[in-house]
Chain A
Amino acid sequence: MNDDSLIARYRYGAQYVGDFQALRSDIAAKTFIPHQVEFQPPPRGRKICWLDCPYCYGGSAHDDGRRLSKSRALEVMAQIAQGGVKKIIFAGYATDPLNCEYIDDLLRATIDSGQIFGFNTKALKLSEAFLGQLSRPDIAPQSYMSISVDAGCNEVYNAVHDVRGNAKLYDRVLQCITRAGAARRANGNLFDLSATYLINGRNHDVAQVQRFIRDFKAAGCNMLRFAFAQPPRGIETADGVVPTADDVRLYGEKLRPVIAAADSAACTTMLVDADSDHDIYDKARTVPCFARFSYPTVGFDGWLYHCSQSSAPNFHGMAIGDLNSDDFWPLLYDYDGERLGDYFSACGLRMNQEGCRCDRKEHVLNARVIASGAFDDLVVK
């Protein structure tokens, strides 16, 4: 049976900050340790992602060709672990973490350090070496793999992800997850295996959803989360790619009973409408931004960024620094702790000018910290 913390995390309810006053003190004293570090492993080749999903928030990302080398990546990982960070999330900004030639080494280093790992991936390919790591008996509790699927058959998968032709990518993903599920069972379910489904105009059919639920429960997932696609940053989307507020209501009314009926002790199924819950529909960002202190992100180019949504070279203007030349902790603590008000103002100004966009997790975190009142004298509400 899934515990409440897993369900909370998948409802954007993760407690990245326990004590807001302590966070403030730790920020001022430069003693905070991020709840997690997000790592965007460098992609192979010049096409930085397997797919060109039309709703991808990284669709406007630039690529200047720079990549974090394997040796430097492992050095940075070691620095992060030695500094006390307990969780590493492998994800992508216009990339997929599994589309990295040394992802197995990064996962090995994470498990060796006793850190929790997380993967947010399309899982189009899983290597034997990677599956071997997933089978280890020393995986830290609360580790997870979350696979973005968004469909219940090949045709819809291709339509949702703008894949031309008849490639059987849904089948391939299902096969990968089945293998990951087997690895999970082999080590006693030490990590959570989830599949996610972003509902939009191309995949809201009830039968499609039911088939997805059936297939991925059978593959060994213990969590299936449904949500609604968000407007991506900096690109126009075709009709149906991002649901309107009315669409969200209609799709929700139709699918909520189907999803609720599938919920079980072995596999939680849930529909999360965070935009309505937190009043963030189509909102660009919530500032001041506390991402740096909770989940700073190593970009595929080796720069350290505030968050996963701003981790590409086009955000160098607001980035924290370059890990190719500087170490993790000196960069992370490189700000004026005695003038935090100015720090937050400068960040907010840069973020407005660079046009970054929060994902739901970031909206919710920033809103919670602001609502705590711990920074009231420093920030303008």
Chain B
Amino acid sequence: MSEKLPPPRIAILGARGIGRVHARIFQALGADVCAVLGRDQASAGQAVRDLSDSFGIAAVAFSDLKTLLSQPLDGVSICTPPVHHFEQIIAAFDRGVPVFCEKPLFWNDSWNDNWNEPDWARKLASLQDHSNRRLFVNTSNAFLIAAVSDQLPPAETVTQFAFHFHTQGLYRGRDIAVDLLPHALSMLLGCLGERPLSDVLMQVERYGCQCRFSYGGCNVAFDLRQGPDLDRSLGFVCDDVSFQRVQEGEGMNYKVCLENTVSGERWPSQDPFAAYIAEFLDHCRNGGVDRFDEAALNMRLMAQCLKP
């Protein structure tokens, strides 16, 4: 009889926003969400209480990353602001701990006004070359593509690709693009694969960003918006085929579908978030190839879009 393995021990860095969702999904997938990092002890403690009250998660609170990473962990989930991602990923790699990182892979707020190509490139190279690199970045919406891949036109024939993502997020202006471009790019990559990107036109408003560019002969348009009054919506168009994401149910019981906006026909999808975290947990247990290359490609395209 095989011995039952203990659940993977996961720490959540920043558990009061999207990290709360990470914690819930990790737990639902059988992981032991054992620790939380907050900006201080009070914040971390509040997150721990919330996780306990909401999901019965018994985690402990840390305010110091070094102390947290000195605990026996099988993985960390980084849900802090993007400006902290790089240092936290490196710290985890240095301790040999696999990382599941919220998108974007990393970003400095100052780059919005003062693009620093050497700094950006150095950081990407540091991650790429790290001897303990085991990295997943949450661009999980690309999983949606799998649900309708046989409904899409052949990638090489596509000349128009549009993607919209409207949320009630709190970012404004250019930060909306920093927050949502990774999703848009992961959908593009899922549909069309890697191509040369050129002729970027970025239009930024308080509650949204429009980004247009040429992608190896395909005209691409992203419509990314965040605001308190927006209806949440995600959809994409490949030439004359159009789908939107539809959620059935709520909370722990929700299901995700893609709906053809013309015919109304629906295709059920894996919950992209859960599916990607499940892949990460499998990687924590069994090793294998990480998702750095995919994350790095997404990051390069993002930098091309956002460079002033």
Contact = CB atoms under 8 A, between A and B. Distances in A.
A317 B9 CA distance: 15
B48 interface: yes
B198 interface: no
A345 B64 CA distance: 11
A341 B71 contact: no
Contacts of A336: 64, 67
Contact of B63 (A339, A350, A352): A339
Interface residues of A, number: 17
A65 B139 CA distance: 52
A331 interface: no
Contact of B67 (A317, A339, A377, A378): A339
Contacts of A343: 67
B191 interface: no
Interface in B155-171: none
Contact of A342 (B9, B68, B72): B68
A135 to B, nearest CB: 50
B72 A346 contact: no
Interface string B213-235: 00000000000000000000000
Interface string A332-373: 000010010111011011101100000000000000000000
Nearest to A354: B72
Given A317-B72, A342-B41, A353-B72, A380 B48 contact: yes
A342 B34 contact: no
Contacts of B63: 339, 341-342
- How would you classify the secondary structure of chain A's contact residues: helix, strand, loop or mixed? helix
Given A341-B41, A342-B62, A349 B67 contact: no
B18 interface: no
A336 B71 CA distance: 15
A341 B68 CA distance: 11
A127 B247 CA distance: 78
B64 A339 contact: yes
Contacts of A379: 45
B174 to A, nearest CB: 35
A272 B49 CA distance: 34
Contact of B42 (A346, A350, A377): A377
Contacts, number: 54
Nearest to A351: B60
Contacts of A317: 72
B67 A352 contact: no
Given A341-B41, A349-B34, A380 B71 contact: no
Contact of A346 (B9, B49, B58, B67): B67
B70 interface: yes
A286 to B, nearest CB: 14
Contact of B61 (A345, A350, A352, A353): A345
Given A349-B34, A352-B34, A353-B72, A342 B64 contact: yes
Query: Could you say which of A339, A342, A353 has the most chain B C-beta atoms within 10 Å of its C-beta?
Result: A342
B41 A352 contact: no
Given A342-B41, A342-B63, A352 B71 contact: no
Contacts of A341: 41, 44-45, 61-63
B91 to A, nearest CB: 15
Contacts of B9: 353
A345 B62 contact: yes
A377 B44 CA distance: 11
A318 B52 CA distance: 24
Contacts of A377: 41-42
Contacts of A346: 60, 62, 67-68, 70-71
Given A339-B63, A342-B64, A350 B71 contact: yes
Nearest to B73: A349
A343 to B, nearest CB: 8
B73 to A, nearest CB: 9
A379 B34 CA distance: 15
Nearest to A347: B60
Given A380-B48, A380-B49, A349 B41 contact: no
B49 A345 contact: no
B305 interface: no
A378 B48 CA distance: 12
A186 B70 CA distance: 55
Interface string B53-82: 000001011111001101110000000000
B89 interface: no
Nearest to A345: B60
A346 B71 CA distance: 7
B281 interface: no
Contacts of A348: 60
A367 B41 CA distance: 21
Contacts of B35: 345, 349
Nearest to B72: A353
Contact of A380 (B34, B45, B72): B45
Interface string B263-300: 00000000000000000000000000000000000000
A378 B58 CA distance: 16
Contacts of B34: 349, 352-353
Question: What 9 pairs across the A-B complex have the smallest Cβ distances?
Answer: A341-B41, A345-B60, A342-B67, A380-B45, A380-B48, A342-B64, A348-B60, A349-B60, A342-B62
Given A341-B44, A349-B71, A352-B58, 10 more contacts: A341-B63, A342-B67, A342-B68, A343-B67, A345-B35, A345-B61, A346-B68, A346-B70, A353-B34, A377-B41
16 contacts: A336-B64, A339-B63, A339-B64, A341-B44, A341-B61, A342-B41, A342-B62, A342-B63, A345-B35, A345-B61, A345-B62, A346-B67, A349-B34, A349-B60, A349-B71, A377-B42
Interface of B: 9, 34-35, 41-42, 44-45, 48-49, 58, 60-64, 67-68, 70-72
